[in-house]
Protein backbone atom coordinates (compact mmCIF):
# COMPACT_ATOMS: atom_id res chain seq x y z
CA UNK A 1 0.00 0.00 0.00
CA UNK A 2 1.46 3.38 -1.11
CA UNK A 3 1.77 6.16 1.43
CA UNK A 4 0.02 9.38 0.64
CA UNK A 5 2.35 12.29 -0.14
CA UNK A 6 2.26 15.04 2.48
CA UNK A 7 0.77 18.33 1.37
CA UNK A 8 2.92 21.39 0.73
CA UNK A 9 1.72 22.89 4.01
CA UNK A 10 2.69 19.72 5.93
CA UNK A 11 6.17 19.69 4.35
CA UNK A 12 6.63 23.34 5.29
CA UNK A 13 5.64 22.61 8.92
CA UNK A 14 8.16 19.75 9.09
CA UNK A 15 10.90 21.92 7.60
CA UNK A 16 10.24 24.70 10.13
CA UNK A 17 10.26 22.18 12.99
CA UNK A 18 13.62 20.78 11.81
CA UNK A 19 15.01 24.31 11.61
CA UNK A 20 13.78 25.08 15.14
CA UNK A 21 15.35 21.89 16.52
CA UNK A 22 18.61 22.64 14.72
CA UNK A 23 18.66 26.23 16.03
CA UNK A 24 18.00 25.01 19.58
CA UNK A 25 20.80 22.46 19.28
CA UNK A 26 23.19 25.18 18.05
CA UNK A 27 22.22 27.49 20.95
CA UNK A 28 22.88 24.72 23.51
CA UNK A 29 26.22 23.85 21.87
CA UNK A 30 27.36 27.49 21.90
CA UNK A 31 26.28 27.95 25.52
CA UNK A 32 28.14 24.79 26.63
CA UNK A 33 31.30 25.37 24.56
CA UNK A 34 32.00 29.12 24.76
CA UNK A 35 35.70 28.71 25.64
CA UNK A 36 36.29 26.14 22.89
CA UNK A 37 34.56 28.30 20.28
CA UNK A 38 36.51 31.36 21.43
CA UNK A 39 39.82 29.48 21.27
CA UNK A 40 39.08 28.20 17.76
CA UNK A 41 38.13 31.68 16.60
CA UNK A 42 41.38 33.08 18.04
CA UNK A 43 43.42 30.41 16.25
CA UNK A 44 41.58 31.08 12.98
CA UNK A 45 42.11 34.83 13.41
CA UNK A 46 45.85 34.48 14.09
CA UNK A 47 46.31 32.06 11.18
CA UNK A 48 44.63 34.43 8.69
CA UNK A 49 45.57 37.80 10.16
CA UNK A 50 47.47 39.17 7.16
CA UNK A 51 44.96 37.78 4.67
CA UNK A 52 42.07 39.39 6.58
CA UNK A 53 43.88 42.73 6.81
CA UNK A 54 44.57 42.71 3.07
CA UNK A 55 40.93 41.84 2.34
CA UNK A 56 39.65 44.58 4.68
CA UNK A 57 41.95 47.15 3.10
CA UNK A 58 40.91 46.18 -0.43
CA UNK A 59 37.23 46.27 0.56
CA UNK A 60 37.67 49.68 2.17
CA UNK A 61 39.35 51.11 -0.93
CA UNK A 62 36.72 49.63 -3.25
CA UNK A 63 33.74 50.82 -1.18
CA UNK A 64 35.06 54.01 0.40
CA UNK A 65 32.58 56.41 -1.21
CA UNK A 66 29.54 54.16 -0.93
CA UNK A 67 30.22 53.33 2.71
CA UNK A 68 30.98 56.95 3.57
CA UNK A 69 27.63 58.10 2.18
CA UNK A 70 25.82 55.23 3.88
CA UNK A 71 27.49 56.08 7.20
CA UNK A 72 26.64 59.77 6.84
CA UNK A 73 23.01 58.87 6.15
CA UNK A 74 22.91 56.52 9.14
CA UNK A 75 24.49 59.19 11.36
CA UNK A 76 21.96 61.81 10.18
CA UNK A 77 19.08 59.43 10.86
CA UNK A 78 20.41 58.64 14.34
CA UNK A 79 20.89 62.33 15.08
CA UNK A 80 17.34 63.11 13.97
CA UNK A 81 15.86 60.47 16.24
CA UNK A 82 18.19 61.27 19.19
CA UNK A 83 18.54 65.05 19.02
CA UNK A 84 18.62 65.63 22.77
CA UNK A 85 21.30 62.97 23.37
CA UNK A 86 23.36 64.17 20.42
CA UNK A 87 23.21 67.82 21.48
CA UNK A 88 24.07 66.92 25.07
CA UNK A 89 27.07 64.92 23.85
CA UNK A 90 28.28 67.82 21.69
CA UNK A 91 27.85 70.32 24.55
CA UNK A 92 29.79 68.02 26.88
CA UNK A 93 32.63 67.73 24.35
CA UNK A 94 32.72 71.50 23.78
CA UNK A 95 32.86 72.12 27.53
CA UNK A 96 35.75 69.66 27.90
CA UNK A 97 37.61 70.95 24.80
CA UNK A 98 36.87 74.68 24.81
CA UNK A 99 40.02 75.84 22.99
CA UNK A 100 39.80 73.20 20.30
CA UNK A 101 36.09 73.89 19.77
CA UNK A 102 36.77 77.63 19.40
CA UNK A 103 39.60 76.94 16.94
CA UNK A 104 37.32 74.65 14.90
CA UNK A 105 34.58 77.28 14.91
CA UNK A 106 36.96 80.03 13.78
CA UNK A 107 38.30 77.79 11.03
CA UNK A 108 34.76 76.97 9.83
CA UNK A 109 33.70 80.63 9.92
CA UNK A 110 36.70 81.61 7.78
CA UNK A 111 36.04 78.80 5.32
CA UNK A 112 32.26 79.43 5.07
CA UNK A 113 31.54 83.16 5.34
CA UNK A 114 28.31 82.96 3.33
CA UNK A 115 26.83 80.18 5.45
CA UNK A 116 28.03 81.87 8.63
CA UNK A 117 26.26 85.06 7.61
CA UNK A 118 23.06 83.15 6.85
CA UNK A 119 23.23 81.37 10.21
CA UNK A 120 23.66 84.71 12.00
CA UNK A 121 20.61 86.14 10.22
CA UNK A 122 18.55 83.06 11.07
CA UNK A 123 19.68 83.18 14.72
CA UNK A 124 18.95 86.89 14.95
CA UNK A 125 15.42 86.53 13.54
CA UNK A 126 14.68 83.53 15.75
CA UNK A 127 16.00 85.26 18.88
CA UNK A 128 14.53 88.73 18.39
CA UNK A 129 11.25 87.92 16.68
CA UNK A 130 10.71 84.21 17.34
CA UNK A 131 10.34 83.37 13.64
CA UNK A 132 12.00 80.69 11.57
CA UNK A 133 12.32 82.29 8.12
CA UNK A 134 12.45 80.37 4.82
CA UNK A 135 15.82 79.99 3.10
CA UNK A 136 14.92 82.49 0.35
CA UNK A 137 14.26 85.24 2.87
CA UNK A 138 17.52 84.56 4.68
CA UNK A 139 19.43 84.68 1.39
CA UNK A 140 17.73 87.97 0.51
CA UNK A 141 18.67 89.53 3.87
CA UNK A 142 22.27 88.32 3.50
CA UNK A 143 22.48 89.78 -0.03
CA UNK A 144 21.00 93.07 1.21
CA UNK A 145 23.58 93.31 4.02
CA UNK A 146 26.37 92.42 1.62
CA UNK A 147 25.25 95.20 -0.75
CA UNK A 148 25.08 97.75 2.08
CA UNK A 149 28.57 96.73 3.22
CA UNK A 150 29.92 97.17 -0.31
CA UNK A 151 28.34 100.62 -0.60
CA UNK A 152 29.83 101.69 2.77
CA UNK A 153 33.27 100.42 1.71
CA UNK A 154 33.06 102.32 -1.58
CA UNK A 155 31.95 105.48 0.23
CA UNK A 156 34.85 105.19 2.75
CA UNK A 157 37.38 104.84 -0.04
CA UNK A 158 36.09 107.89 -1.92
CA UNK A 159 35.87 110.20 1.12
Distance CA 6, CA 4 (A): 6
Using one digit for the tens of pLDDT, what is the confidence trace for 1-17?
567 888 889 889 899 88
Q: What share of the chain is helix, strand, coil (3-state, %, to 5)?
A: 90, 0, 10
Whether 33 is in a domain gets the answer no
Q: Is residue 127 part of a domain?
A: yes
Question: Looking at the domain assignment, is residue 24 inside a domain?
Answer: no
Is residue 129 domain-resident? Answer: yes
Whole-number pLDDT of residue 49 = 94
Q: How many domains, the chain?
A: 1
The pLDDT value recorded for residue 73 is 92
> What are the C-alpha distances in Å from 74 to residues 63, 65, 66, 83?
16, 14, 12, 14
**pLDDT on residue 129:** 87
Q: What is the pLDDT of residue 155?
A: 87
Mean pLDDT of successive 10-residue stretches along the chain, which has 159 residues: 81 90 93 94 94 93 86 93 95 97 95 91 89 88 90 86
pTM greater than 0.85:
no
Task: Please count the other Cβ atoms lying within 10 Å of the Cβ belonging to residue 94.
Answer: 14
Does residue 119 fall inside a structural domain?
yes
35 lies in a domain?
A: no
User: How much is the pLDDT for 1?
Assistant: 59
3-state secondary structure 59-120: HHHHHHHHHHHHHHHHHHHHHHHCHHHHHHHHHHHHHHCHHHHHHHHHHHHHHCHHHHHHHH
Q: CA-CA distance, 95 to 89, in Å (whole number)?
A: 10
**Are 117 and 145 within 8 A, CB to CB?**
yes
Q: What is the pLDDT of residues 56-80, one digit of tens each?
A: 999 988 888 888 888 999 999 999 9
Flag whether 106 is in a domain: no
Judge whether 32 lies within some domain.
no
Length of the chain: 159
- Domain extent at residue 125: 112-159
Amino acid sequence: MAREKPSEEEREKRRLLRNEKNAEHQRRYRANNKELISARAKIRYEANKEKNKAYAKAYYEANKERDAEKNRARARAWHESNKERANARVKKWIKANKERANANTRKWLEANPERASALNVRKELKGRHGINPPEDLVNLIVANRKLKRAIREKHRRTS
